[in-house]
Amino acid sequence: MASARDLLSRPNSPSFLESLYTGKLQWDLLDPFPDQDAADRAAGDHALAEITRFMTEWIDPESVDETSTLPAGFVEELKKRGLLKLGTAERSGGWGLTPRNIFRVVTEVASRSVAVALIIAIDNAIGISAYLPHLPPGPLRDFVQDRVERGAVSCTADTEPEGAANTVRRTVAVPTEDGDAFLITGDKVFVGNAPIADVVIISATVTEQGTTQRRLFFVDADTPGLRVHAEHGFMGLRGFPNGAFTFDRVRVPRTRMLVEEGYEGRMTRTANLATMLGRNYLIAAPSLALARLGTAWAQDFASRRSVDGRTLDQYDEIRRVLAAAAADTFAIDTLTTWTMVQPDLDGPVNTAFEQLAVKNISSLAAWRVLDRSMSVLGAEGFESGPSKARRCAVPVPLERAVRDARGLRISGGVDFALDYWAGRLVLPTYYPQPRPAADLDEPEDLTGLSTQWLTGRNTDHARYATGQAKELARFMLRVRERYAEADELLAAERVVISVNAVVNEILTMAAVLARAATLAEAGHTWPQGLADVFCADARRRVTDLWAAAEAAVSGDEPDHTALCAGLAEDGRAAGIFQHTSVPAHLARAEGNEQ
Ligand SMILES: Cc1cc2nc3c(=O)[nH]c(=O)nc-3n(C[C@H](O)[C@H](O)[C@H](O)COP(=O)(O)OP(=O)(O)OC[C@H]3O[C@@H](n4cnc5c(N)ncnc54)[C@H](O)[C@@H]3O)c2cc1C
């Protein structure tokens, strides 16, 4: 059965991240750093202009947020304009945009309303148009092609009330007696676009001929037995239609089941490939939009707010905060340029591993930006936009942005759980047999990176990143002595999570440095400072991450297990943790009805 690594790896297409796992930074893959070509950019500019006009005409973001409602007729308008199939050819009613331009469109829409951006992103990222290129010729492909051409809104229903992290899906598809169809029964929750979908892609467990597999089914939403039984209201992303399904013996022809090779991941093999770019559209694009806004709002506030006669941007600490926000935004922009300009797994450079990493890197960086901006704006940041508007203050919607951004760290996988799952990609380099790079003991080699275009500080960061990649390999080799089997290491979750977070930091450092060098060669020296600030902060995070990993490996750390066991014991923590507005269902369990 194929692993995630097997699925993403391409023997003839080098991967920067895969090489990093072995301890080697292949700077020549990153430098010269790619950029969108002029013709494609122009095509994207045209689409952006049109969509921006459309958004201004239709969407008042504060009203969508306050009422959790979209304007009447808006979804129909999205369909009519082909906005749900931006990558589909124009002859089939789409826009024929490249992934880079789809990403730009979603970012642009998100800068006005993340809720609306997600409607568009869902369909383009994990809807039927995303699956179409991955479907083999046959009746299923014909069905999907037909629905795409009709402009159907679609969604992917995978998460179940028991939790998305579970490998098993309780929704079952049972073959009918004649074997021509399946009856699907089960529940799904948190499904984006569910309340407005015409077609639902359902993951379900199928047992046939003694084999149990997870399969995908493509089902019209008006099929009897299929219903949306609830709409979810979230802390943020209000107005984004998201709902729960119940399937009660929903009859689906066998031809609507996607038959594919076995795969050991949480999603099916095709879902993984189809939704690869989806993380960029669904998470990274809104993250970039929010990071840009957060940076701009903080800069604006710092220039207009004075403390004791000096504007805030004259203060040392505020300048550091503003610089860090700008550097994080540059990092998201850089990494998504890397993943979006060359999205093809079989292209000259395989960016598949980076496509996975971009979700956590972008959403966490955006969160840092907004959290810092919130502190800069103080109470005005915490206050809602409409409240500020009512008293004629600048109605910056930072409060809404923070609520929206938090969801990006959950949707598609909770951040630290995702670090854990992604951390598994490193393992095949070291288990069962270690295959690290050959030159771990050699001095840091920056061949391939145009260091002549980097400042001394940035060259030092590049040397550090190269050294950290080797450190990763050395750490993994040492860890093998402690955990002989991969499963033992996987049980040490803090180690796996920390290692993956280090990998993400090294990747991002390398990308911003390579881009800074390429831009400097073209005469733009200003990104050097952004790269420097990002790398300096990343180095502090890396130090912390290694400390956490080393402590977990050595055991020289607090006894978290004993502490948790103690917390559960009656009376142990009375007065500190109990009877302080405990959730109602816990209070009832304690016999306290109040
Ligand atoms: C805005 C939004 C849009 C969404 N859109 C869709 C959609 O279109 N389709 C769809 O199917 N779903 C969708 N979801 C669901 C989303 O993908 C899940 O919420 C997400 O994957 C997290 O799953 P969960 O909430 O079930 O929590 P789980 O993944 O079950 O996690 C619960 C807790 O367990 C922890 N955990 C999990 N595994 C481990 C482990 N190995 N070790 C330690 N801790 C662990 C997690 O970190 C978390 O703290 C959406 C969710 C949101 C918020």
Look at ligand 1, atom 48, and give the residue with the nearest C-alpha: 414
- What percent of the chain lies above the pLDDT cut of 90? 81
CA of 202 to the centre of ligand 1 (A): 16
Pocket test for ligand 1, best of 159, 170, 272 (most atoms within 8 A of CB): 159
Res 123: pLDDT: 87
Pocket test for ligand 1, best of 170, 188, 411 (most atoms within 8 A of CB): 411
Same structural domain, 566 and 584: yes
Nearest atom in ligand 1 to 237's CA:
1
Residue 439 or residue 456, greater confidence: 456
Q: What are the tens digits of pLDDT across the range 305-335?
A: 999 999 999 999 999 999 999 999 999 999 9
- For residue 38, tell me if it sits in a domain: no
Residue 438 or residue 590, greater confidence: 438
Number of domains in the chain: 3
- For residue 86, tell me if it sits in a domain: no
Please identify which residue in the block is written with the tokens 């082909």.
82
Same structural domain, 517 and 443: yes
Same structural domain, 453 and 531: yes
- For residue 169, tell me if it sits in a domain: yes
Token pair of 439 as six digits: 């030159």
Token pair of 415 as six digits: 């951040």
Res 583: pLDDT: 62
- For residue 466, tell me if it sits in a domain: yes
Look at ligand 1, atom 44, and give the residue with the nearest C-alpha: 417
- Mean local confidence (pLDDT), 98-107: 95
CA separation for the pair 482, 300 (Å, rounded): 52
- Mean local confidence (pLDDT), 422-427: 92
Please, what is the average pLDDT of the chain?
A: 93
Same structural domain, 188 and 202: yes
CA of 554 to the centre of ligand 1 (A): 31
CA of 410 to the centre of ligand 1 (A): 6
CA of 417 to the centre of ligand 1 (A): 9
Interior CA angle at 104 toward 279 and 319, to 5°?
90
Q: Which of 79-83, 173-177, 398-402 has the lowest mean pLDDT?
A: 79-83
CA of 162 to the centre of ligand 1 (A): 10
Res 4: pLDDT: 76
Single residue among 259, 274, 289 that ends a domain in this structure: 274
Look at ligand 1, atom 27, and give the residue with the nearest C-alpha: 163
Same structural domain, 469 and 583: no
Interior CA angle at 571 toward 579 and 575, to 5°?
40
CA separation for the pair 326, 121 (Å, rounded): 25
Nearest atom in ligand 1 to 158's CA:
11
Nearest atom in ligand 1 to 194's CA:
8
Q: What are the tens digits of pLDDT across the range 239-265?
A: 999 999 999 999 999 999 998 876 666
CA of 165 to the centre of ligand 1 (A): 6
Any residues with CB less than 8 A from the CB of 518 and at least 6 apart, and which?
31, 32, 33, 450, 453
Assign residue 203 the CATH number of its domain: 2.40.110.10
Look at ligand 1, atom 19, and give the residue with the nearest C-alpha: 411
Same structural domain, 480 and 572: no
Same structural domain, 268 and 143: yes
Same structural domain, 436 and 532: yes
- For residue 456, tell me if it sits in a domain: yes
Confidence of residue 582 (pLDDT cuts 50, 70, 90): low
Domain that holds residue 437: 426-557
Beta strands at 154-157 and 199-208: parallel, antiparallel or unpaired = parallel
Single residue among 241, 274, 307 that ends a domain in this structure: 274
CA of 412 to the centre of ligand 1 (A): 6
- Mean local confidence (pLDDT), 455-484: 97
Pocket test for ligand 1, best of 414, 487, 494 (most atoms within 8 A of CB): 414
Q: DSSP for 205-235, please give it.
A: EEEETTEEEEEEEEEETTSTTEEEEEE---S
CA of 160 to the centre of ligand 1 (A): 9
CA separation for the pair 50, 104 (Å, rounded): 13
CA of 311 to the centre of ligand 1 (A): 43
Pocket test for ligand 1, best of 190, 360, 560 (most atoms within 8 A of CB): 190
Q: DSSP for 362-418, please give it.
A: HHHHHHHHHHHHHHHHTHHHHS-HHHHHHTTS----HHHHHHHHHHHTTTTS-HHHH
Q: Which residues line ligand 1 (CB under 6 A)?
A: 122, 155-159, 163-165, 190-192, 237, 242, 407, 410-414, 416-417, 420, 493
Q: What are the tens digits of pLDDT across the range 344-385?
A: 878 899 999 999 999 999 999 999 999 999 999 999 999 999
Single residue among 216, 242, 274 that ends a domain in this structure: 274
User: Do residues 573 and 567 touch, judged by C-beta distance below 8 A?
Assistant: yes
Q: Which of 57-61, 75-79, 568-572 has the lowest mean pLDDT?
A: 568-572
Burial of residue 92 (CB within 10 Å: 0-12, 13-18, 19+) is middle
CA of 169 to the centre of ligand 1 (A): 13
Look at ligand 1, atom 51, and give the residue with the nearest C-alpha: 411
CA of 344 to the centre of ligand 1 (A): 27
- For residue 94, tell me if it sits in a domain: no
